[in-house]
């Protein structure tokens, strides 16, 4: 009689206790361990370390295929953009210049550009990307970039299997292929200078976009802007959300500026803040947009 009054609740109690024990054991005492994890499972800061290491190793080998394969293990959506953004963060955080330079060079190589010989890096002010609309006076200028990376070695690494993280089933093993001929970058020329009128842009800017022969934006190109009594350096690609080949500089009205790429070439001079006229006859500052291309 006494047992009948209790019913079968004891079974449910036992099952609940068992489930609780099982979860405690599997989540706390002996959780699944990822001892054979791939790089994409790395924490964000370790991924940054990994990218920096890939870039640094690339400086030694000049092996773009190997660098691409290594970066592919991180499964970034946009590899070149991830590198450029990391370079931007590294600049802001005061990371070693060599690291920033390596990241920039690899980002540029992945973007299909040439390798710049960057020696000093200074970030620029924030700005808004304004697509050029009105043509000004195109004046072809010849600007010599540095030589591209020496492609001497290539690899074809392949990844291994992991029990808990789905992955391919072969070993990740680098294989080298000799590629002896250095690649020199063609010179950049100034294709176009435009005055851009955008009433939403409060400050007058010097905006640049640098493209390679394939029309792809080229990051990490050092640009030098000079004026009477001053000079500043900045790099393309530090605003990857706009374009990897984009850079800008805020002008002070009535100051005359000259712009050239750090690797040499003729300067674009006599750039001053110019006014635009709105529909209601009010005036506002326009921006100069310079486009450099590889022929």
- By CB under 8 A, name the binding residues for another protein: 3, 10-27, 31-39, 41-44, 46, 49-50, 53-54, 56-57, 59-61, 70, 73, 98, 153, 155, 157, 159-160, 162, 164, 171-176
Which letter does DSSP use for residue 270 in this model?
A: E
Closest to another protein by CB, 67 vs 121, is: 67
The residue (of 1 and 35) whose beta carbon lies closer to another protein is 35
**Residue among 57 and 250 whose Cβ is closer to another protein:** 57
* CA distance linking residue 206 with residue 195, whole number of Å: 10
The span from the CA of 192 to the CA of 108, in Å, is 22
Closest contact distance (angstroms) between CB of 53 and another protein is: 5
84: left (phi over 0), alpha (psi -120 to 50) or beta: alpha
Residue count (the chain): 295
Quote the least distance from Cβ 237 to another protein, whole Å.
Answer: 21
Q: Which of 137, 139, 155 is nearest to 260 (CA)?
A: 139
**Shortest distance (Å) from residue 235 CB to another protein:** 20
Cβ(209)–Cβ(291) below 8 Å? yes
Residue 143 parent element (H or E): strand 142-143
Query: Residue 99 CB, nearest distance to another protein (Å)?
Result: 10
Least CB distance from residue 26 to another protein, whole Å? 3
Q: Which is nearer to another protein, 60 or 134 (CB)?
A: 60
Rounded to whole angstroms, the Cα distance separating 62 from 147 reads 12
Q: Which is nearer to another protein, 54 or 197 (CB)?
A: 54
Alpha-carbon span 101 to 83, nearest angstrom: 11
């Amino acid at each position: 009689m006494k047992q009948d009054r209790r019913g079968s609740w004891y079974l449910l109690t036992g099952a609940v206790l068992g489930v609780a024990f099982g979860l405690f054991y599997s989540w706390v005492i002996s959780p699944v361990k990822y001892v054979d994890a791939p790089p994409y499972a790395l924490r964000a800061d370790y991924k940054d370390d990994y990218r920096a290491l890939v870039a640094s190793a690339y400086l030694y080998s000049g092996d773009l295929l190997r660098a691409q394969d290594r970066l592919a293990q991180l499964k970034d959506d946009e590899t070149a953009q991830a590198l450029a953004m990391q370079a931007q963060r590294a600049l802001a955080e005061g990371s070693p210049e060599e690291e920033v330079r390596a990241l920039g060079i690899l980002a540029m190589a992945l973007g299909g550009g040439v390798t710049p010989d960057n020696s000093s890096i200074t970030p620029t002010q924030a700005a808004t990307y304004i697509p050029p609309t009105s043509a000004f006076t195109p004046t072809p200028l010849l600007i010599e970039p540095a030589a591209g990376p020496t492609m001497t070695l290539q690899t074809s690494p392949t990844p291994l299997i992991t029990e808990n993280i789905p992955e391919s089933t072969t070993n990740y093993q680098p294989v080298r292929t000799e590629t002896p001929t250095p690649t020199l970058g063609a010179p950049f020329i100034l294709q176009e200078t435009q005055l851009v009128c955008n009433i939403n842009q409060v400050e007058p800017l010097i905006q640049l976009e640098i493209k390679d022969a394939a029309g792809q934006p080229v990051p990490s190109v050092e640009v030098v802007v000079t004026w009477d009594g001053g000079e500043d350096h900045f790099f393309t690609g530090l605003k990857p959300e706009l374009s990897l080949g984009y850079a800008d500089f805020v002008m002070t009205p009535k100051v005359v500026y000259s712009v050239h790429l750090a690797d040499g070439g003729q300067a674009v001079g006599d750039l001053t803040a110019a006014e635009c006229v709105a529909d209601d006859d009010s005036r506002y500052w326009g921006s100069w947009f310079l486009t450099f291309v590889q022929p």
